[in-house]
Structure formats: structure tokens, C-alpha cells
């Protein structure tokens, strides 16, 4: 962001061109402050309104502004001369108002949108007037990355003269407001939330406003770093489309935060969240144990990111109860055995094909969502004895016998299988319910209980299957007995054959 207080001598104004829209001429003003630049468009009428206010309140000479012309005011020659005259006017006003920088001049040039000092003062004034009323209704507020960056940078510099002269611009209004918030939403830009929320493209990540310049400036949200230390009592942190790796300091959040949600932020590893303000993200085992944990974090949603694996820094969330990792690129799970309180795990829309021995990591899990993955086999879920809700919809399960692995789970009540090949078979519901034996009436299959017809058919199918299994076991038993009997006869023949020669030898010797 620009900092006029530091770069006032490097600030320039120019009008490089005229833009005509619906026969109306707009003068494009290019503002450069240090390395930051932006444009703002104004009609001549806007210049006239600004000038009237500067004349009335700031002692500016009335004849400084180029006069208005009624006839011939659209000829190219006249417009070129006016363009040059207005540019000269702005340069003179910048020199005259350089120290005081009145609010009307600041807002005319959009300094309050792109400059650290003036953006913070604009926000402070707004909170001074409406902050208490807002907090009385809600403790939730949305900040753009630009605003958080401005607040963070303002905390590092001394109080500017313009702030001291007007109490409504005091930075303390922002700090007081932030300290009372319980929930904040971090956005790339103020108007980016609807785009991010309603885009449901699961195949291709769309960066939205993350890599696009903010407004007419050359500021890019993904390049802006910010702190969260101003939020003393925050309980919920929601980040939409903003990189967590740009967080420089989380302050007290490790102690106060109970919920964190990160959406479409280009996050590739859990450590970019768990260690967001650490310089070194690849901490070793011993070092990891010494790092400060997020002790009160109960709910985590890391949805629509670029996660390819669950790394070991997940253990820094030891109190986690709910973990949502939908719409990532995960092929399996790891390190979840450290989350002893985990009860809900959602892995919807990933790339999971196998679930080997998941009970080792998910011993206390109550709800598991594996919909829209690539799962065929269910043996790895057969020992999740605390599981109550299981969503396997839209996978690749094509063998009804796979249901046997979850049919014996003692607490399972809700099962979803729609969207699998097995769900397209004849009497699908009855065949699935038959695998639950005496518990079939306790099961909600695809969000609804079975009817009496399905129960009757399921009992018949179950009886036939049990009978077939008994017959098969009896057949195997008979075959095994026959094999044993044949083996014994062979042994007897072998023993008889070995005694004959010794007997004859004995007779001969006698």
C-alpha cells in the first residue's frame, strides 16, 4: 500500500487521458505514491464541486480552477487544453495542501482506498460514528486483506499529525472495535464474498480476486501480509480466498479461537494454517512438540483448497472435534490418531480410493463423510465401532457383499449409498438392509427408513444367505473330513508297507 506520510515528496498527479462514456467526458487522474499507483475518473463537474469546498473551507483562490465553458466544450482542442489545465490545477493543490491533506481532497483522489494512513483514518471515522451500534447488533465483521494490511502497518508507525488534530480519526477506535469482535471474515476485497461463496467448480480452482489488482491500483491481495494481533477475544476466524501464509502474527488466537474456516485460499499443506505465522513450516518431531498448540480449537473447515495430504502439524489442534476437508486433493488420511476428541470427519470430493485400517486413526469417530470419492472396498471401515453416520454416496462400490464389512458396526444408524453402481441393482434397499440382521429396522438408508415390504424381503434374503452360508460351511466340513480320511488311509497303507519287509526279515532270521 501507499504511505503518503513517508512518500509525500514522491507523490505525483497527472491526467494522462480523457475517457468518454455515453457522450460524457471523464478525466482519468493517475496518482503515484512511492511504488503504488492507481487511477480515478472525474467529470469537470466533480472538479468544480471540489474547488468550491476548497475555496470555502481551505482558503484556496477562486481563480485557480479552469473556467467552465458552455459552447464548444466538446471539441478535441478545447478538451486537450482543459486536460492540461486540470492537471496543473491538481499539482498546485497538492503543493498547497501537502501538509494538511484535507478530507475532501483525499477522497477526491481515492487516497482513502489505497493509502495506509488515510484508509485507517476513514475506517476509524466510520467506527467512531457507527461502531458501538454495530457491535450491539453483531460481533461479526468482514475485513478485506487491504484493510488488515493497513491496520497492521499503521501499528508500526507513529501517530500522524492529521490524526492528532481530529479525534474521530484516532486509531484507538479501530483497536477498541477489533478487541470486541468474536468473528471476522477475511476477504481478498470487500466485494469478493458473493463470487467466492456461489462458485461451485470442483474441478478447477478459480483464484477469483486473489491475483487481480485491487480496484484501479497495482496492489495485489496475494502479496499483502497482515497481522491478527489486534483481535483479543476472537472465537471464529473465516478466511475466503486469502492466503493463510501471509499471516505474520496471530497474537492471542491460539488461546481464544474455537473455530477456523479456510476456503479457496491456495493452501497446500495444513502447516500453512497451523504454523501460519512461523517462518519455518517444516518443524521436526521434537520441535513440533514444543510449539504452541491451538488449545481451544474445536471446529476446523479447510474446504476447496489444494491440500494433497494431512501433515503432522494437525496435532497442533489437539481439541478438534469436527474436521472438514471437502473438495481438496487428498488420497488418504494420516496423523489423525493425535486427535483423540475427533468425532466428525468430512472428506467429500477428494481422490480417496482405499481406506486401510482407518480404525487405527479414527477410533472415536461418530460421523464420516466419504461421498464423491473413488472407493470400491469397505474392509478398512469394518472396525469403526463408534460410527453412527456414514456417507458413501457417489463412489464406485459395485459389490453388495462389501456391505457386510459395515453391517456389523454396532452403532451405525445412517448410511448413504446412492450414486454407487450397487444402488442401481434390483431390490437394492432390501438387499442392503438384509446385511444388518436384527438391526435392519434401526437403519436409515439414504435418509429414510425401510418400509414393511423391504423389511420382509430383507429378512427372507438374510435367511437365504445364512442358509447358503451354513450349507457352504457344511460342504467345506465334509470335504475337509474326506480329505482327512483319505490322508489317514494313505498313512495306514504306508505303515503296512513299511512293516512287511521287517517281518519277513525277522522270519528269515528266526
CATH number of the domain to which 287 belongs? 3.80.10.10
Instruction: Please name which of 158, 147, 97 lies closest in space to residue 122, comparing C-alpha atoms.
Output: 147
Residues 376 and 393 in one domain: no
Task: Write the DSSP symbol of residue 228.
Answer: -
d(C-alpha 289, C-alpha 312), whole Å: 11
Q: The C-alpha cell of 436 is what?
A: 444388518
Rounded to the nearest 5°, which phi and psi values hold at 77?
-65, -45
Task: Write the DSSP symbol of residue 334.
Answer: -
Last residue of a domain, one of 77, 109, 141: 109
> Is residue 483 a part of any domain in this protein?
no
Q: The C-alpha cell of 48 is what?
A: 468544480
pLDDT tens-digit readout, 216-236 = 999 998 889 999 999 999 999
d(C-alpha 182, C-alpha 178), whole Å: 9
d(C-alpha 103, C-alpha 97), whole Å: 11
Residues 154 and 303 in one domain: yes
Residues 178 and 142 in one domain: yes
Residues 359 and 282 in one domain: yes
Instruction: Please tell me the total count of domains within the chain.
Output: 3
Residues 449 and 436 in one domain: yes
Residues 81 and 224 in one domain: no
- The domain that holds 11 is classified in CATH as 3.30.1520.10
Residues 82 and 182 in one domain: no
> Is residue 488 a part of any domain in this protein?
no
Residues 358 and 398 in one domain: no
Whether 297 and 318 have beta carbons less than 8 Å apart is answered as no
d(C-alpha 245, C-alpha 351), whole Å: 25
- The count of other CB atoms within 10 Å of the CB of residue 246 is 21
Residues 350 and 449 in one domain: no
Parent domain of 18:
4-109
d(C-alpha 482, C-alpha 470), whole Å: 18
> Is residue 27 a part of any domain in this protein?
yes
For the chain, the first-to-last Cα distance in angstroms comes to 118
Pairing of strands 367-369, 344-346: parallel
Position 53 scores a pLDDT of 93
d(C-alpha 422, C-alpha 445), whole Å: 13
Residues 458 and 394 in one domain: yes
Residues 92 and 186 in one domain: no
> Is residue 295 a part of any domain in this protein?
yes
Per residue of the chain (510 residues), what is the pLDDT tens digit? 888 888 989 999 999 999 999 888 999 999 999 999 999 999 999 999 999 999 998 888 898 998 887 555 678 888 899 999 999 999 999 999 888 888 999 999 999 999 999 999 999 999 999 999 999 999 999 999 999 999 999 998 887 776 667 788 899 999 999 999 999 999 888 765 544 444 444 333 344 567 888 889 999 988 899 999 999 999 999 998 888 888 988 888 999 999 999 998 888 999 999 988 776 556 555 566 667 889 999 999 999 999 999 999 999 999 999 999 999 999 999 999 999 999 999 999 999 999 999 999 998 999 999 999 999 999 999 999 999 999 999 999 999 999 999 999 999 999 999 999 999 988 999 999 999 988 999 999 999 999 999 889 988 888 887 777 777 777 777 776 766 566 656 665 555 554 444 444 344 432
> Is residue 363 a part of any domain in this protein?
yes
Position 281 scores a pLDDT of 55
**Complete edge-to-edge strand list for the sheet that includes strand 36-42:** 11-21, 24-33, 36-42
> Is residue 484 a part of any domain in this protein?
no
453's CB contacts (< 8 A; 6+ apart) are none
Last residue of a domain, one of 323, 349, 383: 383
Last residue of a domain, one of 329, 359, 383: 383
Query: Taking the CA of residue 505 as centre, how many other CA atoms within 13 Å lie in the half-sphere pointing to its CB?
Result: 5
> Is residue 490 a part of any domain in this protein?
no
Grid coordinates 479414527 are at which residue? 362
Instruction: Please name which of 146, 150, 149 lies closest in space to residue 116, comparing C-alpha atoms.
Output: 150
Instruction: Please name which of 388, 344, 352 lies closest in space to residue 371, comparing C-alpha atoms.
Output: 352
Q: Which residues of 440-472 are buried (b: 16+ CB within 10 A; e: fewer)?
A: beebebbeeebeeebbebbbebbeeeeeeeeee
Specify which residues 299 forms β-bridges with. 259, 322
Q: Give kind and range of the element (H or E) at residue 20.
A: strand 11-21
Grid coordinates 489442534 are at which residue? 317
Whether 300 and 325 have beta carbons less than 8 Å apart is answered as no
d(C-alpha 114, C-alpha 163), whole Å: 17
> Is residue 485 a part of any domain in this protein?
no
Burial of 477 per CB tally in 10 Å (0-12, 13-18, 19+): exposed
Residues 443 and 430 in one domain: yes
Amino acid at each position: 500500500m501507499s504511505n503518503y506520510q513517508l512518500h509525500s515528496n514522491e507523490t505525483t498527479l497527472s491526467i494522462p487521458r480523457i475517457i468518454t462514456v455515453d457522450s460524457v467526458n471523464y478525466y482519468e487522474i493517475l496518482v503515484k505514491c512511492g511504488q503504488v499507483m492507481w487511477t480515478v475518473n472525474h467529470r469537470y463537474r466533480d472538479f468544480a464541486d471540489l474547488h468550491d469546498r476548497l475555496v470555502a473551507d481551505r482558503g484556496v483562490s477562486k481563480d485557480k480552477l479552469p473556467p467552465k465553458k458552455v459552447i464548444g466544450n466538446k471539441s478535441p482542442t478545447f478538451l486537450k487544453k482543459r486536460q492540461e489545465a486540470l492537471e496543473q490545477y491538481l499539482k498546485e493543490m497538492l503543493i498547497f495542501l501537502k501538509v494538511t491533506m484535507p478530507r475532501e481532497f483525499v477522497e477526491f483522489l481515492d487516497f482513502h482506498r489505497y493509502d495506509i494512513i488515510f484508509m485507517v483514518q476513514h475506517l476509524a471515522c466510520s467506527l467512531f460514528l457507527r461502531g458501538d451500534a454495530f457491535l450491539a447488533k453483531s460481533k461479526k465483521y468482514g475485513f478485506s486483506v487491504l484493510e488488515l494490511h493497513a491496520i497492521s502497518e499503521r501499528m508500526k508507525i507513529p501517530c500522524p499529525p492529521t490524526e492528532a488534530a481530529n479525534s474521530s480519526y484516532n486509531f484507538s477506535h479501530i483497536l477498541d472495535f477489533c478487541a470486541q469482535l468474536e468473528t471476522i471474515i477475511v476477504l481478498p476485497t470487500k466485494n469478493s464474498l458473493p463470487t467466492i461463496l456461489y462458485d461451485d467448480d470442483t474441478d478447477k480452482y478459480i483464484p477469483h480476486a486473489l491475483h487481480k489488482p485491487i480496484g484501479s491500483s497495482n496492489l495485489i491481495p496475494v502479496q499483502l501480509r497482515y497481522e491478527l494481533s489486534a483481535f483479543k477475544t476472537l472465537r471464529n476466524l473465516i478466511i475466503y480466498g486469502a492466503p493463510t501464509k501471509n499471516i505474520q502474527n496471530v497474537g492471542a488466537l491460539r488461546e481464544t479461537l474455537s473455530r477456523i474456516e479456510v476456503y479457496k485460499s491456495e493452501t497446500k499443506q495444513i502447516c500453512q494454517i497451523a504454523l501460519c505465522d512461523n517462518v519455518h513450516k517444516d518443524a521436526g518431531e521434537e520441535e513440533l512438540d514444543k510449539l504452541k498448540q491451538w488449545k481451544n480449537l474445536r471446529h476446523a473447515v479447510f474446504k476447496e483448497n489444494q491440500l494433497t495430504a494431512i501433515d503432522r502439524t494437525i496435532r497442533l489442534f489437539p481439541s478438534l472435534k469436527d474436521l472438514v476437508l471437502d473438495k481438496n486433493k487428498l488420497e488418504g488420511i494420516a496423523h489423525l490418531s493425535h486427535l483423540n476428541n475427533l468425532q466428525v470427519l468430512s472428506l467429500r470430493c477428494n481422490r480417496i480410493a482405499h481406506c486401510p485400517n482407518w480404525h487405527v486413526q479414527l477410533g472415536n469417530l461418530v460421523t464420516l463423510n466419504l461421498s464423491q470419492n473413488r472407493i470400491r472396498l469397505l474392509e478398512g471401515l469394518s472396525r469403526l465401532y463408534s460410527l453412527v453416520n456414514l456417507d458413501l454416496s457417489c463412489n464406485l462400490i459395485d459389490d453388495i457383499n462389501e456391505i457386510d464389512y459395515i453391517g456389523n458396526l454396532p452403532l451405525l444408524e445412517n448410511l448413504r449409498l446412492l450414486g454407487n453402481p450397487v444402488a442401481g441393482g434390483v431390490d437394492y434397499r432390501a438387499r442392503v438392509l438384509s446385511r444388518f440382521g436384527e438391526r435392519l429396522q434401526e437403519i436409515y438408508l439414504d435418509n429414510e427408513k425401510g418400509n414393511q415390504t423391504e423389511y420382509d424381503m430383507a429378512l427372507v434374503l438374510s435367511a437365504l444367505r445364512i442358509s447358503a452360508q451354513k450349507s457352504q460351511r457344511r460342504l467345506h466340513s465334509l470335504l475337509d473330513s474326506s480329505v482327512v480320511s483319505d490322508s489317514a488311509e494313505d498313512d495306514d497303507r504306508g505303515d503296512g508297507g513299511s512293516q512287511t519287509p521287517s517281518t519277513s526279515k525277522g522270519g528269515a532270521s528266526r
